[in-house]
Amino acid sequence: MATRTAIINVMAKACYKASRNLLRDFGEVEQLQTSRKGPENFVKTADEKSKRKLLDELCFARPDYGIIVKGGGLTKSNDPKNRIWIVDSLNGSKNFSHGIPHWAVSIALEEDQQIVASVIYDATRDELFWSEKGLGAYLNDTRLRVSERRHLSTCFLSVDHIYDSRSSGIPEKLLCTVNSTRNFGSEALDLAYVAAGRIDASLQSDARLWEIAAGILMVREAGGYVTDSSGKPKISKDSAIISANTHIHHELLKILRL
């Protein structure tokens, strides 16, 4: 059984508390679909409530840490190691607003500009994905490993709505080579699913830092690769990323560079 460290417990507790309100609000979204105003303002309010709860919990537990939050807010760190929380209070808000149970709360911890711990919580399934640098990646208490598939023809890929053949993204050759592609609508869960081996790879065109920070560490701790579209492991802000096992990642890069 995996033993969660104190910092993972802090992050998990914050996710659990924020998700209680989100789950209650999510239960009301379906009724709002038929109203004139629709669910958009309601979802924004739910997101803000989640953000406040997360920040309250994290600031109480570690008051010296800085914070980068969804929407671009930044609080500087007073910690000697420059520790910073990177928080997405509702990743997959479009799914949430349409009553689709595929969204998550995501927290990463950066230390001296490296992600050292992360948590992604899927409240609708009560699945806590977590990882810590050098200690592996886990789903609840089960160790995670990326898939072992070696051929794109057998692979299931997640591809975001921009990274497609009609815009700047995927060559026709790739679409014809892979087994199947999907757009699931949650960048954080895409990466968690790559870490868990549920999907073989994820291509994201312009993900924001708070959307992917937790998942990057998770994939790497599960034995996978995450790079930008040129193969560089250092991910810059708002860059395209490729995550997969080592074999598939290499094949994807070859095709995307053509």
Q: Is residue 75 very low, low, confident or very high in pLDDT (cuts 50, 70, 90)? A: confident
Whether residue 164 is predicted with pLDDT greater than 50 in this model: the reply is no
Domain-terminating residue out of 76, 111, 143: 143
Rg (C-alpha) for the chain, rounded Å, is 18
Please indicate, yes or no, whether residues 66 and 173 belong to a single structural domain of this protein.
no
Please indicate, yes or no, whether residues 87 and 206 belong to a single structural domain of this protein.
no
Percent of the chain scored above 90 by pLDDT?
Answer: 58
Domain-terminating residue out of 108, 143, 178: 143
Whether residue 155 is predicted with pLDDT greater than 90 in this model: the reply is no
pTM comes to 0.91
- Write out pLDDT tens, residues 198-222: 999 998 887 889 999 999 999 999 9
| All residues at 6 or more sequence positions from 168 whose CB lies less than 8 Å from its CB, including other chains | 162, 205
**CATH number for the domain that contains residue 173:** 3.40.190.80
Within-domain flag for 50: yes
Please indicate, yes or no, whether residues 23 and 138 belong to a single structural domain of this protein.
yes
N-terminal to C-terminal alpha carbon distance within the chain: 45
Domain-terminating residue out of 117, 143, 169: 143
Give the three-class secondary structure for 64. Answer: coil
Give yes or no for a contact between 2 and 141, defined as CB atoms under 8 angstroms apart: yes
pLDDT of residue 165: 44
- Write out pLDDT tens, residues 24-67: 999 887 666 555 555 678 888 999 999 999 999 999 999 999 99
Please indicate, yes or no, whether residues 10 and 108 belong to a single structural domain of this protein.
yes
Please indicate, yes or no, whether residues 49 and 138 belong to a single structural domain of this protein.
yes
Please indicate, yes or no, whether residues 33 and 134 belong to a single structural domain of this protein.
yes
Please indicate, yes or no, whether residues 88 and 206 belong to a single structural domain of this protein.
no
Q: Which residue has the tokens 């014809």?
A: 176
Q: How many domains does the chain have?
A: 2
Helices (H), strands (E): how many in the chain?
Answer: 7, 13
Phi, psi at 101, each rounded to 5°: -80, 60
Within-domain flag for 221: yes
Within-domain flag for 1: no
Please indicate, yes or no, whether residues 130 and 20 belong to a single structural domain of this protein.
yes
**Helix extents (H) in 159-240:** 172-177, 187-196, 209-221
Please indicate, yes or no, whether residues 89 and 170 belong to a single structural domain of this protein.
no
Please indicate, yes or no, whether residues 168 and 128 belong to a single structural domain of this protein.
no
Give yes or no for a contact between 175 and 155, defined as CB atoms under 8 angstroms apart: no
Q: Is residue 166 very low, low, confident or very high in pLDDT (cuts 50, 70, 90)? A: very low
Please indicate, yes or no, whether residues 17 and 127 belong to a single structural domain of this protein.
yes
For the ranges 93-97, 182-186, 233-237, the lowest mean pLDDT is seen at 233-237
Please indicate, yes or no, whether residues 48 and 134 belong to a single structural domain of this protein.
yes
Sign of CA dihedral 108, 239, 190, 253: negative
Within-domain flag for 45: yes
Mean pLDDT of 80-88: 93
Mean pLDDT of 138-162: 87
Domain range for 104 is 6-143
